[in-house]
A and B are shown apart, each in its own frame.
Chain A
Amino acid sequence: MSVEKVIECCNLTKKFNMKTALNNLTFSLDENKIIGLIGRNGAGKTTFLKTCAGYIKPSAGSITIWGEKVFNNIDVLSNMIFVDEEIQYDTSSRLKDIIDLGKTYYKSWDNKFALKLARYFNLDLNLKYKKLSRGMKTQFNIIMGLSSRSPLTLLDEPTLGLDAAIRKEFYNILLKDYMENPRTIIISSHLLSEIESLLEEIVLIKEGSLVLHESVETVQEYGIYLNGKKDIILPFIQNKEVLNVEVYGNDAVAAIKNDLNKNETTYLSENSIDISKVPMQDVCIFLTKSKREGGFDEFEA
Protein backbone atom coordinates (compact mmCIF):
# COMPACT_ATOMS: atom_id res chain seq x y z
CA MET A 1 0.00 0.00 0.00
CA SER A 2 1.42 3.40 -0.95
CA VAL A 3 2.09 5.92 1.80
CA GLU A 4 0.39 9.26 1.31
CA LYS A 5 2.27 12.48 1.86
CA VAL A 6 0.65 14.74 4.41
CA ILE A 7 2.88 17.80 4.35
CA GLU A 8 4.94 18.81 1.34
CA CYS A 9 7.13 21.90 1.54
CA CYS A 10 8.92 23.27 -1.48
CA ASN A 11 11.44 26.06 -0.86
CA LEU A 12 9.21 27.24 1.98
CA THR A 13 10.42 30.63 3.16
CA LYS A 14 8.95 32.96 5.74
CA LYS A 15 10.36 36.39 6.48
CA PHE A 16 9.31 38.79 9.20
CA ASN A 17 10.58 42.20 8.08
CA MET A 18 14.33 41.57 7.75
CA LYS A 19 14.44 38.32 9.72
CA THR A 20 14.24 35.03 7.86
CA ALA A 21 12.36 32.57 10.07
CA LEU A 22 12.11 29.76 7.51
CA ASN A 23 14.69 29.49 4.80
CA ASN A 24 14.00 27.38 1.69
CA LEU A 25 12.63 24.38 3.54
CA THR A 26 12.06 21.44 1.20
CA PHE A 27 10.85 18.13 2.58
CA SER A 28 7.75 16.02 2.87
CA LEU A 29 6.18 14.11 5.74
CA ASP A 30 4.31 10.83 5.43
CA GLU A 31 0.96 10.17 7.03
CA ASN A 32 0.33 8.27 10.23
CA LYS A 33 3.66 8.86 11.89
CA ILE A 34 4.81 10.63 15.01
CA ILE A 35 7.39 13.14 13.90
CA GLY A 36 9.64 15.21 16.12
CA LEU A 37 10.34 18.77 15.08
CA ILE A 38 13.59 19.62 16.75
CA GLY A 39 15.62 22.79 16.87
CA ARG A 40 16.96 25.36 19.23
CA ASN A 41 15.11 28.42 20.44
CA GLY A 42 14.37 30.64 17.46
CA ALA A 43 15.15 27.89 14.95
CA GLY A 44 11.76 28.35 13.27
CA LYS A 45 9.82 25.40 14.74
CA THR A 46 6.83 27.43 15.83
CA THR A 47 6.83 29.44 12.60
CA PHE A 48 6.79 26.19 10.63
CA LEU A 49 3.90 24.83 12.69
CA LYS A 50 1.98 28.11 12.39
CA THR A 51 2.45 27.96 8.63
CA CYS A 52 1.12 24.38 8.65
CA ALA A 53 -1.85 25.56 10.71
CA GLY A 54 -2.65 28.30 8.19
CA TYR A 55 -2.05 31.09 10.68
CA ILE A 56 0.66 32.69 8.59
CA LYS A 57 1.37 32.84 4.88
CA PRO A 58 4.66 31.78 3.31
CA SER A 59 6.75 34.65 1.94
CA ALA A 60 8.02 32.38 -0.82
CA GLY A 61 7.83 28.74 -1.83
CA SER A 62 4.86 26.59 -0.98
CA ILE A 63 3.41 24.29 1.62
CA THR A 64 0.65 21.84 0.84
CA ILE A 65 -1.21 19.53 3.19
CA TRP A 66 -2.92 16.53 1.61
CA GLY A 67 -2.03 18.16 -1.68
CA GLU A 68 -3.92 21.37 -0.89
CA LYS A 69 -2.74 24.88 -0.11
CA VAL A 70 -3.25 25.53 3.59
CA PHE A 71 -3.87 29.25 4.02
CA ASN A 72 -7.62 29.91 4.24
CA ASN A 73 -8.43 26.34 3.20
CA ILE A 74 -11.18 25.22 5.57
CA ASP A 75 -11.17 21.65 4.24
CA VAL A 76 -7.55 21.27 5.34
CA LEU A 77 -7.92 23.28 8.56
CA SER A 78 -10.93 21.23 9.66
CA ASN A 79 -8.74 18.16 9.69
CA MET A 80 -5.96 19.51 11.87
CA ILE A 81 -5.38 20.96 15.30
CA PHE A 82 -2.53 23.14 16.50
CA VAL A 83 -1.80 23.18 20.21
CA ASP A 84 0.81 25.51 21.62
CA GLU A 85 1.51 27.23 24.91
CA GLU A 86 0.11 30.53 23.62
CA ILE A 87 -3.27 28.98 22.89
CA GLN A 88 -5.98 31.40 23.96
CA TYR A 89 -9.36 29.95 24.64
CA ASP A 90 -12.02 32.36 25.78
CA THR A 91 -10.84 32.98 29.34
CA SER A 92 -14.32 33.53 30.73
CA SER A 93 -15.58 30.20 29.33
CA ARG A 94 -15.89 27.13 31.50
CA LEU A 95 -13.89 24.10 30.47
CA LYS A 96 -17.04 22.16 29.66
CA ASP A 97 -18.11 24.95 27.28
CA ILE A 98 -14.77 24.81 25.49
CA ILE A 99 -15.04 21.04 25.19
CA ASP A 100 -18.56 21.52 23.89
CA LEU A 101 -17.18 23.88 21.23
CA GLY A 102 -14.56 21.29 20.27
CA LYS A 103 -17.40 18.85 19.70
CA THR A 104 -19.08 21.23 17.27
CA TYR A 105 -15.92 22.25 15.41
CA TYR A 106 -14.29 18.84 14.85
CA LYS A 107 -16.13 16.08 13.07
CA SER A 108 -13.85 13.39 14.57
CA TRP A 109 -14.13 14.80 18.11
CA ASP A 110 -14.17 12.09 20.79
CA ASN A 111 -16.15 13.56 23.67
CA LYS A 112 -15.99 10.43 25.78
CA PHE A 113 -12.21 10.50 25.56
CA ALA A 114 -12.11 14.22 26.43
CA LEU A 115 -14.20 13.68 29.56
CA LYS A 116 -12.15 10.64 30.53
CA LEU A 117 -8.91 12.62 30.20
CA ALA A 118 -10.34 15.52 32.20
CA ARG A 119 -11.28 13.12 35.00
CA TYR A 120 -7.87 11.46 34.79
CA PHE A 121 -6.07 14.80 35.14
CA ASN A 122 -8.49 15.86 37.91
CA LEU A 123 -9.69 18.89 36.00
CA ASP A 124 -12.96 20.34 37.21
CA LEU A 125 -14.88 21.10 34.02
CA ASN A 126 -16.93 23.77 35.78
CA LEU A 127 -13.80 25.84 36.28
CA LYS A 128 -13.25 28.83 34.06
CA TYR A 129 -10.22 28.68 31.77
CA LYS A 130 -8.73 31.81 33.37
CA LYS A 131 -8.77 30.12 36.78
CA LEU A 132 -6.42 27.35 35.67
CA SER A 133 -2.76 27.31 36.64
CA ARG A 134 -0.16 27.09 33.89
CA GLY A 135 0.21 23.34 34.29
CA MET A 136 -3.55 22.82 34.29
CA LYS A 137 -3.87 24.92 31.15
CA THR A 138 -1.26 22.75 29.47
CA GLN A 139 -3.16 19.63 30.53
CA PHE A 140 -6.39 21.04 29.19
CA ASN A 141 -4.75 22.04 25.89
CA ILE A 142 -3.45 18.48 25.57
CA ILE A 143 -6.99 17.16 26.15
CA MET A 144 -8.25 19.38 23.34
CA GLY A 145 -5.40 18.30 21.07
CA LEU A 146 -5.89 14.59 21.58
CA SER A 147 -9.69 14.54 21.72
CA SER A 148 -10.07 16.31 18.38
CA ARG A 149 -8.69 13.12 16.78
CA SER A 150 -7.55 15.34 13.93
CA PRO A 151 -5.75 13.48 11.15
CA LEU A 152 -2.98 16.06 11.55
CA THR A 153 -2.14 17.03 15.13
CA LEU A 154 0.48 19.71 15.69
CA LEU A 155 1.83 19.95 19.22
CA ASP A 156 4.22 22.81 19.92
CA GLU A 157 6.09 22.18 23.17
CA PRO A 158 3.02 20.37 24.52
CA THR A 159 4.38 19.59 27.97
CA LEU A 160 5.67 23.03 28.93
CA GLY A 161 4.85 23.69 32.58
CA LEU A 162 4.12 20.06 33.44
CA ASP A 163 6.08 18.15 36.03
CA ALA A 164 8.08 15.08 35.01
CA ALA A 165 5.48 12.58 36.21
CA ILE A 166 2.62 14.15 34.25
CA ARG A 167 4.87 14.55 31.18
CA LYS A 168 5.53 10.83 31.27
CA GLU A 169 1.84 10.07 31.68
CA PHE A 170 1.01 12.33 28.77
CA TYR A 171 3.49 10.55 26.49
CA ASN A 172 2.03 7.18 27.50
CA ILE A 173 -1.50 8.38 26.77
CA LEU A 174 -0.39 9.89 23.48
CA LEU A 175 1.29 6.69 22.36
CA LYS A 176 -1.63 4.49 23.38
CA ASP A 177 -4.09 6.79 21.66
CA TYR A 178 -1.95 6.91 18.54
CA MET A 179 -1.79 3.11 18.39
CA GLU A 180 -5.58 2.94 18.62
CA ASN A 181 -6.21 5.91 16.31
CA PRO A 182 -3.26 6.30 13.94
CA ARG A 183 -2.78 9.81 12.62
CA THR A 184 0.05 12.20 11.81
CA ILE A 185 1.37 13.87 14.93
CA ILE A 186 4.13 16.47 14.84
CA ILE A 187 5.66 17.30 18.20
CA SER A 188 8.11 20.09 18.70
CA SER A 189 10.07 19.83 21.90
CA HIS A 190 13.31 20.79 23.56
CA LEU A 191 13.26 17.62 25.63
CA LEU A 192 14.22 15.21 22.88
CA SER A 193 15.38 12.55 25.31
CA GLU A 194 11.82 12.38 26.70
CA ILE A 195 10.07 11.95 23.37
CA GLU A 196 12.73 9.87 21.63
CA SER A 197 10.89 6.63 22.28
CA LEU A 198 7.69 7.99 20.73
CA LEU A 199 9.12 9.29 17.51
CA GLU A 200 9.45 7.59 14.17
CA GLU A 201 11.09 10.48 12.30
CA ILE A 202 13.00 13.59 13.14
CA VAL A 203 13.05 16.90 11.35
CA LEU A 204 15.93 18.98 12.60
CA ILE A 205 16.02 22.66 11.75
CA LYS A 206 18.55 25.34 12.45
CA GLU A 207 18.04 29.05 11.79
CA GLY A 208 15.08 28.23 9.57
CA SER A 209 16.95 25.75 7.39
CA LEU A 210 16.59 22.00 7.27
CA VAL A 211 19.55 20.19 8.83
CA LEU A 212 18.25 16.65 8.57
CA HIS A 213 15.08 14.70 8.08
CA GLU A 214 15.67 11.07 8.97
CA SER A 215 14.13 8.13 10.76
CA VAL A 216 14.87 7.90 14.46
CA GLU A 217 16.93 4.74 13.87
CA THR A 218 19.18 6.64 11.44
CA VAL A 219 19.70 9.51 13.89
CA GLN A 220 20.40 7.06 16.70
CA GLU A 221 23.20 5.58 14.57
CA TYR A 222 24.33 8.96 13.24
CA GLY A 223 27.31 9.67 15.46
CA ILE A 224 29.96 8.01 17.65
CA TYR A 225 32.04 9.27 20.52
CA LEU A 226 35.77 8.61 20.55
CA ASN A 227 37.23 8.88 24.03
CA GLY A 228 40.95 8.52 24.74
CA LYS A 229 44.37 10.08 24.23
CA LYS A 230 44.23 13.32 22.29
CA ASP A 231 47.45 12.45 20.41
CA ILE A 232 45.55 9.60 18.78
CA ILE A 233 42.12 11.18 18.44
CA LEU A 234 42.94 14.64 17.07
CA PRO A 235 45.02 13.44 14.06
CA PHE A 236 42.48 10.67 13.43
CA ILE A 237 39.46 12.97 13.13
CA GLN A 238 41.15 15.38 10.73
CA ASN A 239 39.56 13.69 7.71
CA LYS A 240 36.28 12.96 9.44
CA GLU A 241 33.03 14.85 9.73
CA VAL A 242 33.46 16.16 13.25
CA LEU A 243 30.39 16.97 15.29
CA ASN A 244 32.17 18.11 18.44
CA VAL A 245 35.58 17.96 20.15
CA GLU A 246 36.46 18.54 23.77
CA VAL A 247 39.99 18.32 25.11
CA TYR A 248 40.74 17.65 28.78
CA GLY A 249 44.52 17.73 29.39
CA ASN A 250 46.01 14.80 27.51
CA ASP A 251 42.60 13.30 26.78
CA ALA A 252 39.97 14.19 24.24
CA VAL A 253 36.39 13.31 23.52
CA ALA A 254 35.37 13.68 19.90
CA ALA A 255 31.97 13.13 18.37
CA ILE A 256 32.17 12.21 14.70
CA LYS A 257 29.82 10.92 12.05
CA ASN A 258 29.46 7.16 12.25
CA ASP A 259 31.26 6.09 9.07
CA LEU A 260 34.19 4.08 10.43
CA ASN A 261 35.43 1.19 8.37
CA LYS A 262 36.76 -2.02 9.82
CA ASN A 263 40.44 -0.96 9.71
CA GLU A 264 39.71 2.30 11.47
CA THR A 265 37.78 0.52 14.21
CA THR A 266 40.67 -1.90 14.70
CA TYR A 267 43.18 0.99 14.81
CA LEU A 268 41.15 2.82 17.47
CA SER A 269 40.73 -0.34 19.59
CA GLU A 270 44.45 -1.07 19.42
CA ASN A 271 45.11 2.45 20.74
CA SER A 272 42.67 2.08 23.63
CA ILE A 273 40.12 4.53 22.27
CA ASP A 274 36.62 3.94 23.61
CA ILE A 275 33.91 4.04 21.00
CA SER A 276 30.30 4.67 21.96
CA LYS A 277 27.12 5.91 20.30
CA VAL A 278 26.27 9.60 20.47
CA PRO A 279 22.79 9.93 22.03
CA MET A 280 20.20 11.43 19.72
CA GLN A 281 19.84 14.56 21.84
CA ASP A 282 23.60 15.20 21.57
CA VAL A 283 23.52 14.62 17.79
CA CYS A 284 20.86 17.29 17.52
CA ILE A 285 22.77 19.66 19.79
CA PHE A 286 26.00 19.23 17.80
CA LEU A 287 24.28 19.61 14.45
CA THR A 288 22.58 22.80 15.51
CA LYS A 289 25.30 24.34 17.64
CA SER A 290 26.04 28.01 17.11
CA LYS A 291 29.06 29.28 15.25
CA ARG A 292 30.74 30.30 18.50
CA GLU A 293 33.59 27.89 19.07
CA GLY A 294 34.35 26.66 22.53
CA GLY A 295 31.98 27.11 25.44
CA PHE A 296 31.10 29.98 27.71
CA ASP A 297 34.63 29.89 29.23
CA GLU A 298 36.21 30.82 25.89
CA PHE A 299 33.55 33.33 24.98
CA GLU A 300 34.59 36.95 24.99
CA ALA A 301 31.85 39.51 25.05
Chain B
Amino acid sequence: MNLKHELRNKGYNENNIRSLKSYIKYILKSNKRSVLIFSSILFGVVLFNMIIALLIIKFSSSNSSSTVNSGALMSGFISVSIMASVSALVWTSKAEVNKAFVFPINRQIYALGNFISSIMGSFIFLIITSLISIFEILMGNLIAMIFNNFVFINEINMSNFIPGFFVSLSYLMLFIAASYCFGVYFVKNKIIVSAILGFVFILAITFPWPRQAIVEVFKFFFYEKSIAISCLKLWGTAMILHIAAFIPVRSMEVKV
Protein backbone atom coordinates (compact mmCIF):
# COMPACT_ATOMS: atom_id res chain seq x y z
CA MET B 1 0.00 0.00 0.00
CA ASN B 2 1.18 3.49 -0.81
CA LEU B 3 2.67 5.37 2.14
CA LYS B 4 0.40 8.36 1.66
CA HIS B 5 -2.67 6.18 1.84
CA GLU B 6 -1.19 4.20 4.68
CA LEU B 7 -0.77 7.38 6.70
CA ARG B 8 -4.33 8.41 5.98
CA ASN B 9 -5.55 5.05 7.20
CA LYS B 10 -4.87 5.91 10.83
CA GLY B 11 -6.44 2.91 12.46
CA TYR B 12 -3.26 1.84 14.20
CA ASN B 13 -0.66 3.25 16.51
CA GLU B 14 2.24 1.01 15.58
CA ASN B 15 4.58 3.96 15.08
CA ASN B 16 3.69 5.46 18.47
CA ILE B 17 4.34 2.22 20.30
CA ARG B 18 7.61 1.49 18.46
CA SER B 19 8.85 5.02 19.04
CA LEU B 20 7.87 5.02 22.73
CA LYS B 21 9.48 1.63 23.38
CA SER B 22 12.64 2.68 21.58
CA TYR B 23 12.83 5.99 23.44
CA ILE B 24 12.47 4.29 26.83
CA LYS B 25 15.14 1.79 25.79
CA TYR B 26 17.37 4.71 24.77
CA ILE B 27 16.97 6.48 28.14
CA LEU B 28 17.53 3.35 30.18
CA LYS B 29 20.56 2.39 28.10
CA SER B 30 22.10 5.82 28.36
CA ASN B 31 21.71 5.67 32.16
CA LYS B 32 23.45 2.32 32.38
CA ARG B 33 26.62 4.02 33.52
CA SER B 34 24.83 5.88 36.36
CA VAL B 35 23.38 2.57 37.56
CA LEU B 36 26.84 0.97 37.60
CA ILE B 37 28.42 3.92 39.43
CA PHE B 38 25.59 4.02 41.95
CA SER B 39 25.73 0.25 42.60
CA SER B 40 29.50 0.33 43.01
CA ILE B 41 29.41 3.25 45.45
CA LEU B 42 26.63 1.76 47.56
CA PHE B 43 28.26 -1.66 47.55
CA GLY B 44 31.54 0.00 48.50
CA VAL B 45 29.92 1.87 51.39
CA VAL B 46 28.42 -1.34 52.77
CA LEU B 47 31.72 -3.21 52.51
CA PHE B 48 33.60 -0.27 54.02
CA ASN B 49 31.29 -0.22 57.07
CA MET B 50 31.77 -3.93 57.60
CA ILE B 51 35.54 -3.76 57.20
CA ILE B 52 35.80 -0.82 59.62
CA ALA B 53 33.70 -2.76 62.18
CA LEU B 54 35.94 -5.80 61.78
CA LEU B 55 39.08 -3.70 62.15
CA ILE B 56 37.69 -2.16 65.34
CA ILE B 57 37.11 -5.67 66.72
CA LYS B 58 40.60 -6.79 65.72
CA PHE B 59 42.53 -3.83 67.10
CA SER B 60 40.54 -3.08 70.22
CA SER B 61 40.48 -4.86 73.58
CA SER B 62 38.89 -8.31 73.62
CA ASN B 63 35.74 -7.38 75.55
CA SER B 64 34.78 -4.32 73.48
CA SER B 65 32.14 -4.72 70.77
CA SER B 66 31.50 -3.11 67.42
CA THR B 67 28.01 -2.19 66.24
CA VAL B 68 26.83 -1.82 62.65
CA ASN B 69 23.35 -0.64 61.64
CA SER B 70 21.77 -1.77 58.40
CA GLY B 71 22.03 1.53 56.55
CA ALA B 72 22.16 0.59 52.88
CA LEU B 73 18.50 1.39 52.30
CA MET B 74 18.74 4.90 53.69
CA SER B 75 22.12 5.64 52.04
CA GLY B 76 20.80 4.21 48.78
CA PHE B 77 17.60 6.23 48.92
CA ILE B 78 19.44 9.50 49.62
CA SER B 79 21.94 8.80 46.82
CA VAL B 80 19.20 7.84 44.37
CA SER B 81 17.20 10.95 45.25
CA ILE B 82 20.16 13.20 44.50
CA MET B 83 21.23 11.33 41.35
CA ALA B 84 17.72 11.06 39.94
CA SER B 85 16.96 14.74 40.55
CA VAL B 86 20.20 15.81 38.87
CA SER B 87 19.58 13.41 35.95
CA ALA B 88 16.06 14.77 35.47
CA LEU B 89 17.47 18.28 35.38
CA VAL B 90 20.11 17.24 32.83
CA TRP B 91 17.46 15.62 30.58
CA THR B 92 15.95 18.99 29.94
CA SER B 93 19.17 20.59 28.69
CA LYS B 94 19.26 21.49 25.01
CA ALA B 95 22.03 18.98 24.28
CA GLU B 96 20.06 16.11 25.79
CA VAL B 97 16.85 17.13 24.03
CA ASN B 98 18.74 17.26 20.73
CA LYS B 99 20.08 13.76 21.38
CA ALA B 100 16.60 12.46 22.11
CA PHE B 101 15.22 13.90 18.89
CA VAL B 102 17.92 12.41 16.67
CA PHE B 103 15.59 9.44 16.37
CA PRO B 104 11.94 9.71 15.33
CA ILE B 105 9.92 10.81 18.34
CA ASN B 106 7.40 13.55 18.86
CA ARG B 107 6.87 15.77 21.90
CA GLN B 108 4.10 13.59 23.33
CA ILE B 109 6.31 10.52 23.17
CA TYR B 110 9.19 12.52 24.63
CA ALA B 111 7.08 13.59 27.62
CA LEU B 112 5.42 10.21 28.13
CA GLY B 113 8.74 8.41 27.66
CA ASN B 114 10.37 10.61 30.29
CA PHE B 115 7.53 9.89 32.71
CA ILE B 116 7.57 6.13 32.16
CA SER B 117 11.34 5.86 32.24
CA SER B 118 11.46 7.91 35.46
CA ILE B 119 9.22 5.25 37.06
CA MET B 120 11.24 2.40 35.58
CA GLY B 121 14.57 4.03 36.44
CA SER B 122 13.50 4.69 40.04
CA PHE B 123 12.23 1.14 40.33
CA ILE B 124 15.53 -0.27 39.05
CA PHE B 125 17.55 1.89 41.46
CA LEU B 126 15.40 0.87 44.40
CA ILE B 127 15.64 -2.81 43.47
CA ILE B 128 19.44 -2.51 43.36
CA THR B 129 19.39 -0.71 46.72
CA SER B 130 17.22 -3.49 48.15
CA LEU B 131 19.51 -6.20 46.80
CA ILE B 132 22.54 -4.48 48.33
CA SER B 133 20.59 -4.13 51.57
CA ILE B 134 19.87 -7.87 51.54
CA PHE B 135 23.58 -8.48 50.97
CA GLU B 136 24.34 -6.17 53.90
CA ILE B 137 21.92 -8.05 56.17
CA LEU B 138 23.30 -11.46 55.17
CA MET B 139 26.87 -10.31 55.62
CA GLY B 140 26.11 -8.58 58.95
CA ASN B 141 24.42 -11.70 60.32
CA LEU B 142 27.24 -13.92 59.06
CA ILE B 143 29.92 -11.77 60.74
CA ALA B 144 27.82 -11.63 63.93
CA MET B 145 27.75 -15.45 63.93
CA ILE B 146 31.55 -15.61 63.65
CA PHE B 147 32.50 -12.78 66.00
CA ASN B 148 30.62 -12.64 69.28
CA ASN B 149 31.52 -9.02 69.93
CA PHE B 150 30.12 -7.86 66.58
CA VAL B 151 26.59 -6.48 66.87
CA PHE B 152 24.50 -6.08 63.78
CA ILE B 153 21.28 -4.10 64.19
CA ASN B 154 18.68 -4.76 61.54
CA GLU B 155 15.34 -3.00 61.82
CA ILE B 156 14.12 -4.06 58.38
CA ASN B 157 11.48 -6.71 58.02
CA MET B 158 8.96 -7.53 55.31
CA SER B 159 6.16 -5.61 57.03
CA ASN B 160 8.06 -2.31 56.83
CA PHE B 161 10.13 -3.08 53.73
CA ILE B 162 7.28 -3.29 51.19
CA PRO B 163 5.45 -0.10 52.26
CA GLY B 164 8.85 1.60 52.57
CA PHE B 165 9.70 0.59 49.03
CA PHE B 166 6.53 2.15 47.61
CA VAL B 167 6.82 5.31 49.69
CA SER B 168 10.45 5.66 48.54
CA LEU B 169 9.35 5.15 44.94
CA SER B 170 6.68 7.83 45.38
CA TYR B 171 9.17 10.31 46.85
CA LEU B 172 11.57 9.62 44.00
CA MET B 173 8.78 10.29 41.52
CA LEU B 174 8.11 13.62 43.20
CA PHE B 175 11.78 14.66 43.26
CA ILE B 176 12.28 13.69 39.62
CA ALA B 177 9.07 15.42 38.50
CA ALA B 178 10.00 18.60 40.40
CA SER B 179 13.49 18.70 38.87
CA TYR B 180 12.18 17.88 35.41
CA CYS B 181 9.46 20.52 35.55
CA PHE B 182 11.89 23.14 36.84
CA GLY B 183 14.42 22.19 34.14
CA VAL B 184 11.89 22.42 31.33
CA TYR B 185 10.76 25.91 32.35
CA PHE B 186 14.31 27.05 33.07
CA VAL B 187 15.53 25.98 29.62
CA LYS B 188 12.47 27.60 28.04
CA ASN B 189 13.05 30.94 29.75
CA LYS B 190 16.03 31.29 32.04
CA ILE B 191 15.44 34.98 32.78
CA ILE B 192 11.80 34.69 33.88
CA VAL B 193 12.41 31.56 35.98
CA SER B 194 15.46 33.16 37.64
CA ALA B 195 13.46 36.34 38.28
CA ILE B 196 10.61 34.35 39.88
CA LEU B 197 13.07 32.43 42.07
CA GLY B 198 14.77 35.66 43.09
CA PHE B 199 11.40 37.27 43.86
CA VAL B 200 10.32 34.30 46.02
CA PHE B 201 13.65 34.38 47.84
CA ILE B 202 13.32 38.10 48.59
CA LEU B 203 9.73 37.60 49.77
CA ALA B 204 10.87 34.74 51.99
CA ILE B 205 13.51 36.83 53.72
CA THR B 206 11.29 39.91 53.96
CA PHE B 207 7.96 38.46 55.16
CA PRO B 208 7.16 35.54 57.42
CA TRP B 209 4.21 34.15 55.39
CA PRO B 210 6.27 32.78 52.45
CA ARG B 211 8.43 30.89 54.95
CA GLN B 212 5.28 29.60 56.59
CA ALA B 213 3.95 28.53 53.19
CA ILE B 214 7.16 26.60 52.48
CA VAL B 215 6.89 24.87 55.86
CA GLU B 216 3.26 23.98 55.07
CA VAL B 217 4.27 22.50 51.72
CA PHE B 218 7.00 20.52 53.45
CA LYS B 219 4.50 19.25 56.04
CA PHE B 220 2.02 18.35 53.29
CA PHE B 221 4.51 15.96 51.73
CA PHE B 222 6.60 14.74 54.65
CA TYR B 223 4.33 14.70 57.71
CA GLU B 224 1.57 12.49 56.36
CA LYS B 225 1.00 9.47 58.62
CA SER B 226 -1.13 7.39 56.27
CA ILE B 227 1.03 5.61 53.70
CA ALA B 228 -1.81 5.43 51.17
CA ILE B 229 -2.61 9.15 51.39
CA SER B 230 1.08 9.98 51.31
CA CYS B 231 1.57 7.95 48.10
CA LEU B 232 -1.54 9.52 46.62
CA LYS B 233 -0.26 13.05 47.36
CA LEU B 234 3.20 12.29 46.00
CA TRP B 235 2.04 10.57 42.80
CA GLY B 236 -0.69 13.16 42.24
CA THR B 237 1.79 16.02 42.55
CA ALA B 238 4.31 14.22 40.35
CA MET B 239 1.65 13.78 37.66
CA ILE B 240 0.64 17.45 37.90
CA LEU B 241 4.29 18.50 37.56
CA HIS B 242 4.76 16.26 34.49
CA ILE B 243 1.60 17.70 32.92
CA ALA B 244 2.80 21.23 33.72
CA ALA B 245 6.15 20.41 32.10
CA PHE B 246 4.37 19.19 28.99
CA ILE B 247 2.89 22.65 28.30
CA PRO B 248 6.17 24.17 26.99
CA VAL B 249 7.36 20.82 25.62
CA ARG B 250 4.27 20.49 23.36
CA SER B 251 5.46 23.27 21.05
CA MET B 252 9.19 23.02 21.80
CA GLU B 253 11.49 23.54 18.82
CA VAL B 254 14.55 21.33 18.60
CA LYS B 255 18.01 21.94 17.17
CA VAL B 256 17.37 25.66 16.81
Contacts and interface: CB of A to CB of B under 8 A. Distances in A.
A55 B255 contact: yes
Contact of B19 (A4, A87, A105, A151): A105
A105 B256 CA distance: 23
Contact of A101 (B7, B22, B256): B22
Interface string A44-74: 0000001000111100000000111000111
B148 interface: no
Dominant secondary structure of chain A at its interface with chain B: loop
B101 interface: yes
Interface size class of B (residues with CB under 8 A): 35 or more
Interface size class of A (residues with CB under 8 A): 35 or more
A255 to B, nearest CB: 37
Contacts of A67: 4, 7-8
Contacts of B250: 72
Contacts of A28: none
Interface string A93-108: 1000100011011110
A86 B98 CA distance: 9
Given A77-B106, A88-B98, A89-B99, A57 B7 contact: no
A4 B29 CA distance: 39
13 contacts: A55-B255, A55-B256, A56-B254, A68-B7, A76-B7, A78-B18, A79-B7, A86-B255, A88-B95, A88-B99, A92-B30, A97-B29, A104-B21
Interface in B1-21: 2-4, 7-8, 10, 14-16, 18-19, 21
B107 interface: yes
A158 to B, nearest CB: 15
Interface of B: 2-4, 7-8, 10, 14-16, 18-19, 21-22, 25-26, 29-30, 33, 95, 98-99, 101-109, 250-251, 253-256
B4 A74 contact: no
B15 A78 contact: yes
Contacts of A124: none
A78 B12 CA distance: 14
Contacts of B106: 54, 72-74, 77
Contacts of A54: 106
B87 to A, nearest CB: 13
Q: Which 5 A-B pairs have the closest CB atoms?
A: A78-B15, A77-B104, A104-B22, A72-B106, A66-B4
Contacts of B256: 16, 55-56
A55 B99 contact: no
A90 interface: yes
Contacts of B4: 4, 66-67
B104 A80 contact: yes
A75 interface: yes
